Structure 1
Amino acid sequence: MEDFNQTDNQRIVEKIYLIRGIKVMLDKDLAEMYGTIPIRLRQQVSRNKERFPEHFMFQLNEQEVGDMVSQNVIPSRQSLGGALPYVFSEHGILMLANVIKSQQAIAMSIKIIEVFIKFREMLISQKDLLLKFEQLEKLIIQHDDDIHVIFQTLKQLIQQESEPREPIGFKIKS
Structure 2
Amino acid sequence: MTVIQSIQNRIYEIRGERVMLDFDLAALYEVPTKALNQAVKRNIKRFPKDFMFQLTAAEWKEVWSQSATTSSEAGSLRSQIVTTSQSSRRSDNTPYAFTEQGVAMLSGILNSDKAIAMNIAIMRAFVEIRKILLLQNDVRQQLQEIKERLGGHDAQLTAIYDAMENLLDEKAAERKWNERPRIGFKQS
TM-score tier by shorter-chain length is 0.7 to 0.9
Q: Secondary structure at the match of 1:156?
A: helix
- The equivalent residue for 1:70 is 65
Structure 1 residue aligned with 2:164, among 147, 151, 154? 154
- The equivalent residue for 1:52 is 47
- Give runs of aligned pairs for residues 22-33 of structure 1, distance below 5 A: 22-33=17-28
TM-score norm. by structure 2 comes to 0.78
- Give runs of aligned pairs for residues 124-163 of structure 1, distance below 5 A: 124-160=134-170, 161-162=173-174
Change (3 A) 1:89 1:42: same
Change (3 A) 1:66 1:80: farther
Is the counterpart of residue 37 in structure 1 residue 32 in structure 2?
yes
| 1:115-162 deviation per Cα after TM superposition (whole angstroms, max 9, x unaligned) | 100111111111111111211221122112111101101111222322
TM-score norm. by structure 1 comes to 0.84
- The equivalent residue for 1:16 is 11
- The equivalent residue for 2:111 is 101
Q: CA deviation at 1:75?
A: 4.5
Counterpart contact for 1:94–1:109, Cα < 8 Å? yes
- The equivalent residue for 2:132 is 122
Counterpart contact for 2:23–2:85, Cα < 8 Å? no
Distance (Å, rounded) in 2 between the aligned partners of 1:84 and 1:139: 50
Distance (Å, rounded) in 2 between the aligned partners of 1:37 and 1:24: 19
Hey, which of these two has a bigger chunk of helix by percent?
A: 2
Stretches of structure 2 lacking an aligned partner (at least 5 in a row): 69-81, 179-188
Distance (Å, rounded) in 2 between the aligned partners of 1:148 and 1:76: 63
Letter aligned with residue 92 of structure 1: G
Change (3 A) 1:33 1:77: closer
Q: What's the C-alpha RMSD, in Å, of the aligned pairs?
A: 1.8
| 1:85-143 deviation per Cα after TM superposition (whole angstroms, max 9, x unaligned) | 10101110010111111111111111101110011111111111111121122112211
How many pairs align? 159
Distance (Å, rounded) in 2 between the aligned partners of 1:12 and 1:55: 21
Letter aligned with residue 89 of structure 1: T
Q: Secondary structure at the match of 2:13?
A: strand
- The equivalent residue for 1:168 is none
Q: Determine what percentage of the aligned residue pairs are the same residue.
A: 36
Letter aligned with residue 33 of structure 1: L
Stretches of structure 1 lacking an aligned partner (at least 5 in a row): 1-5, 165-174
Change (3 A) 1:140 1:80: farther
